[in-house]
Structure 1
């Protein structure tokens, strides 16, 4: 068998065996595992040692053998590539490629040799990385006439082609935005993936309160567009009636007038108001007959300050 293997490696054979794949083109996410399908028709009486399997990959027009089974041993076998030998006799020569990297992308060819027949099929492997999308700022509180810029960042995606669109949702309707948008070109980063940023700047008024700005990213790695939203919020000031200032002024004048009048009244009572000069007359409890009677009359708190004389009363006969 090894003689035919060496002939197979160095000499061309005509395609006499039917070898096919159910997935001529497949896409794997970066870092995931993928099955590269290869099936052939086995008569059933052929022994395992009579079957040879070879897998090659064509990357940028450079062909490299990545797996070879010569009927007894595996060659070019790497940790990330596995093939179940027990399935070969059943006509299954599929390989598992683990932890897919961007360098794994290419055209994979499965060739089966059962002397003297040979056949092959090809699987195109594409590698993709889904973007992570971030939008900032989220739900900002704005003031009337304020200009705000929103940034939408799509990072670590592959391949390079990507689409970023902006939409405005207002009153239940979504409208694509086409102005005041700046989207950069994707930039390559160290791990071979890409980043890109898009921004939009708008001037906002209270009429924009509740509006939703949407950043939508379309990429072949996504089963559906990926969206990020931000809602426009406004701090609502306390409603003050237009005539409040007039009312406050009138009330203030009234209060000040009352205070002034009260102060003037107190000062007038203390300084200028007239008060009766005499208090109640105090008589003695007992007065003997034919004797003079002392009568007490206190004079205080009188205004104006004129002196009054009191003539003693004559004794009653």
Structure 2
């Protein structure tokens, strides 16, 4: 028993040691914190190493993907050391540490801990033009460093001078963004695994100005411009590659005066974020739908919320709310907002009840602060699954008889739909062939805005077509896989009596029935009286009391 306790204590102490090493690894100076030793190795993430590259590192076997190796700060290739594996994940962050070592860790973004995330972006500038419309729009490469804002009051780590920035990046196109609300820290803005998964990013200059709409006036007590309006401003837009999250941000420049050609980052602080977790929404008719829109401000101040509808070049105001005075200036019938959520959590979502075709389009959620505003566009798409029927069913024909088979597709939306036919031979023949000589009707619109259409197929069977199947295939945007309806052709006379035989049997049965009925009458009227001494039918019994 003493030996078991000793063994358990030994395992416990070993576990404590490993945890201590892991924790020390998080605070090891190699991750780029100020005061790191020059000779301490820094860690890199190798997403893919060729066999030749792995041999150059001194490995006898190719290094697997997502391997770690350490490299001295001097960058001497001969001093590179493979960290080995297996690797352990640290908490929920993007940090990995090799088993048995606390001196090699890495960030999934290739940046030291606490620095942030680098996002490739486009700087959009409007140039030329003497009126309010520019003559052209110029796009230049830019980079956003989305800083990690610590939850404690500790000092943020300095930005390293050797960040992996594009060589073509012009001075003033590198932005270090500090977001107190941490909205921009969404994981979808991290380093993409493949190029197509990169987030979309744009940034441009921004000019604060007074709002002209009545529900966005009087947002401050004195109705004057905020003191920091004279600073330089930018507006950025970020969206994940899968369209699951987007955020529009208004930035105030916080760094001091800069010299021309200064390559250092332009430091900004986010003043207003407007975001949506559902930039695209799909729903069906008659349902309630919530258009998600949230906002975060860097200070307590008056605000206003505006929802506008746009579709094919036209639009109108849907909802307008002045948060400073708790006043609804406009509310379209069937729409609602949650005022407690607006004030307590910045939830400016719009609820639309009993959705109809008229609600399809883009909804722009705009949040106003004093002299500032940002917006999100949410696209609402209406879809209705098609209902498919095939007639006649059952399909019973005689050889050579022409019959039109109809596939009715009804109550679908949007308009585009594809209808096709295929034929499969009788049992024992598994081949299926596409039929190309069908005909289509035009689209017919229902009162609720959905559509109907029909497809027609002419069938002239032979004896060999018995038990052949005809299938109508319907493809539509509302369904992932086509809807299929099948009818089986039965040719009369192939199995069992033919149609002529059936008619003949019916006539024979009718004649036999008539003969039997006549014999029964003769028996009751003539024969019965002779046999039983009475004429005619037997007298009915009369009930007596």
How does the TM-score come out when normalised to structure 2?
A: 0.40
Q: Which deviates more, 17-26 or 196-205?
A: 17-26
1:46 counterpart = 2:300: yes
Per the TM alignment, residue 27 of structure 1 is displaced from its structure 2 partner at its CA by: 2.0
Question: Residues 174, 96 of structure 1: CA spacing in aligned structure 2 closer, same or farther, 3 A cutoff?
Answer: farther
**After the TM superposition, which residues 1-317 of structure 1 pair with which residues of structure 2 at under 5 Å, given as runs?**
5-6=216-217, 16=250, 17-43=272-298, 46=300, 50-71=302-323, 72-88=326-342, 89-170=344-425, 171-179=429-437, 181-235=438-492, 236-237=495-496
For residues 85 and 173 of structure 1, the distance between their equivalents in structure 2, rounded to whole angstroms, comes to: 62
Contact 2:388 2:410 in 1 (8 A): yes
Residue 232 of structure 1 aligns to a residue whose secondary structure is strand
For residues 406 and 384 of structure 2, the distance between their equivalents in structure 1, rounded to whole angstroms, comes to: 21
For residues 38 and 169 of structure 1, the distance between their equivalents in structure 2, rounded to whole angstroms, comes to: 51
For residues 188 and 106 of structure 1, the distance between their equivalents in structure 2, rounded to whole angstroms, comes to: 19
For residues 169 and 31 of structure 1, the distance between their equivalents in structure 2, rounded to whole angstroms, comes to: 39
Question: Residues 205, 53 of structure 1: CA spacing in aligned structure 2 closer, same or farther, 3 A cutoff?
Answer: same
Question: Residues 120, 7 of structure 1: CA spacing in aligned structure 2 closer, same or farther, 3 A cutoff?
Answer: farther
Question: Residues 183, 3 of structure 1: CA spacing in aligned structure 2 closer, same or farther, 3 A cutoff?
Answer: closer
Question: Residues 4, 155 of structure 1: CA spacing in aligned structure 2 closer, same or farther, 3 A cutoff?
Answer: closer
Per the TM alignment, residue 36 of structure 1 is displaced from its structure 2 partner at its CA by: 1.0
Structure 1 runs of 4+ with >6 Å offset? none
Give the alignment's Cα RMSD to 1 decimal: 2.6
Question: Residues 7, 128 of structure 1: CA spacing in aligned structure 2 closer, same or farther, 3 A cutoff?
Answer: farther
Q: How many residues align?
A: 231
Contact 2:461 2:491 in 1 (8 A): no
How does the TM-score come out when normalised to structure 1?
A: 0.66
Unaligned runs of 5+ in 1: 240-317
Residue 449 of structure 2 aligns to a residue whose secondary structure is coil
For residues 283 and 475 of structure 2, the distance between their equivalents in structure 1, rounded to whole angstroms, comes to: 18
What per-residue deviation string (whole Å, max 9, x for no partner) do you get for residues 39-89 of structure 1?
Answer: 22244x636xx2311101113322311111101022322341111122223
Per the TM alignment, residue 4 of structure 1 is displaced from its structure 2 partner at its CA by: 7.6
Residue 358 of structure 2 aligns to a residue whose secondary structure is helix
Task: Say which structure, 1 or 2, has more relative contact order (CA 8 Å, 6+ apart).
Answer: 1
For residues 157 and 55 of structure 1, the distance between their equivalents in structure 2, rounded to whole angstroms, comes to: 28
Please say which structure displays the higher CA radius of gyration: 1
Unaligned runs of 5+ in 2: 1-212, 220-228, 236-249, 251-271, 499-545
Question: Residues 146, 30 of structure 1: CA spacing in aligned structure 2 closer, same or farther, 3 A cutoff?
Answer: same
For residues 413 and 214 of structure 2, the distance between their equivalents in structure 1, rounded to whole angstroms, comes to: 44
For residues 214 and 421 of structure 2, the distance between their equivalents in structure 1, rounded to whole angstroms, comes to: 64
Residue 204 of structure 1 aligns to a residue whose secondary structure is coil
